[in-house]
């Protein structure tokens, strides 16, 4: 389970909670310009743009969960079990594997507008990176400074949705989440009015009662509604500290606390990390379940131009500031 959002103040921000029952040896990785990727379709690319994001590494190949390139184009893959359907290679289509989408699109393109024609002919294939690494069932949110889209490949084909919410969670498919919001149009951050009956003197007895009915569970549908309500009603100044702080507060509203959600196998599903990327400035902020302190990593000119991956190990031990 995961929740992804984009957010705009003076700068543009993109990030997510990664909710998982295990760790995948993730690190913050900067892929420089001109970095080579060999694709399973037989071709190869060298990145035009550097990118920063959270990834694990397999044989010098960064497997990004989410990333942003130096032009501000951002992309995240979220778990989409049973609905995701990946195919064999198709000779009349542009074939890419799921783990190739982020390095390919962010490595070569600056905006969603540049991608749309390519997406129309895309076929996401079921070829694993290596035999011991199964293909993850995913759908994707792609965002830039002006628009946001969702990419889902299912049994009945590839679907591309415009995403006015700038929110993505997991199952069901994205169309359901947009339609489901209609069930919550009565929610408000304002003080509620008595619509129950004019014959009854009903009174508000506490703040926040206008949002009674906002779902509080950790299901994907509920997190989509709650993240949307929180994001669209949030009030934030446009400086960097306020924007980053607000972004993490929105993610906190849908984070998964250890012990509150169990998988069918009885494993603990929890928010292993949360990230916020200033896509305008190329700064990756993160915190982990074990460390609430926000850590920031900049995509500097030197790192954009180096020959190898720049790898930052996570600070995953709680950082506490003692005053006395």
The catalytic site residues sit at 2
SS3 content of the chain, % helix, strand, coil (to 5): 20, 35, 45
Residue 143: partners with Cβ closer than 8 Å, 6 or more residues away: 6, 12, 14, 73, 74, 75, 112, 149, 166, 279
CA dihedral 44, 49, 54, 55 (to 10 degrees): 20
**Helix, strand, or coil (residue 66):** strand
Residue 191: partners with Cβ closer than 8 Å, 6 or more residues away: 204, 207, 209, 210
Element housing 27 (H / E): strand 27-31
Q: Residue 276 burial (CB < 10 Å; 0-12/13-18/19+)?
A: buried
* Helical spans, DSSP H, in the chain: 101-108, 112-120, 174-180, 220-233, 240-252, 301-305
Using CA atoms, how far apart are residues 1 and 249, in angstroms rounded to an integer?
18
Return the ∠ at Cα 275 (arms to 31 and 237), rounded to 5°.
120
Taking phi over 0 as left and psi of -120 to 50 as alpha, with beta for the rest, 260 belongs to alpha
CA dihedral 91, 97, 102, 105 (to 10 degrees): 0
- Is the CA virtual torsion 180, 274, 119, 117 positive or negative? positive
Question: Helix axis angle, 220-233 relative to 240-252, nearest 10°?
Answer: 150
């Amino acid at each position: 389970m995961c929740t992804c959002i984009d957010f705009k103040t003076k700068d543009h921000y993109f990030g997510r909670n990664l909710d998982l029952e295990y760790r995948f040896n993730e690190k913050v990785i900067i892929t420089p310009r001109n970095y080579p990727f060999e694709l399973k379709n037989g071709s190869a690319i060298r990145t035009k743009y550097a990118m920063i994001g959270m990834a694990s590494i397999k044989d010098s190949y960064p497997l990004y969960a989410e990333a942003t390139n130096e032009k501000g184009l951002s992309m995240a893959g979220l778990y989409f079990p049973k609905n995701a359907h990946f195919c064999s290679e198709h000779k009349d289509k542009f074939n890419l594997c799921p783990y190739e989408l982020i390095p390919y699109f962010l490595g070569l393109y600056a905006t969603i507008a540049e991608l749309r024609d390519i997406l129309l002919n895309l076929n996401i294939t079921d070829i694993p990176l290596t035999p011991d690494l199964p293909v993850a069932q995913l759908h994707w949110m792609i965002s830039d400074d002006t628009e946001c889209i969702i990419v889902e490949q299912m049994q009945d084909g590839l679907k591309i949705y415009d995403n006015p919410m700038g929110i993505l969670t997991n199952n069901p498919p994205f169309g359901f989440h947009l339609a489901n919001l209609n069930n919550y149009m009565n929610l408000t951050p304002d003080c509620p009015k008595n619509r129950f009956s004019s014959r009854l003197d009903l009174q508000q007895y506490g703040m926040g009662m206008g949002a009674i009915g906002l779902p509080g569970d950790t299901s994907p549908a509920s997190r989509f509604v709650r993240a949307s309500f929180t994001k669209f009603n949030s009030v934030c100044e446009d400086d960097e500290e306020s924007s980053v702080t607000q972004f993490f507060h929105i993610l906190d509203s849908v984070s998964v606390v250890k012990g509150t959600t169990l998988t069918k196998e009885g494993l603990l599903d929890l928010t292993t990390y949360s990230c916020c990327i200033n896509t305008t400035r190329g700064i990756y902020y993160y915190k982990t379940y074990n460390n609430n302190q926000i850590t920031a990593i900049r995509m500097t000119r030197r790192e954009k131009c180096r020959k190898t991956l720049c790898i930052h190990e996570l600070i995953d031990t709680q950082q506490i500031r003692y005053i006395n």
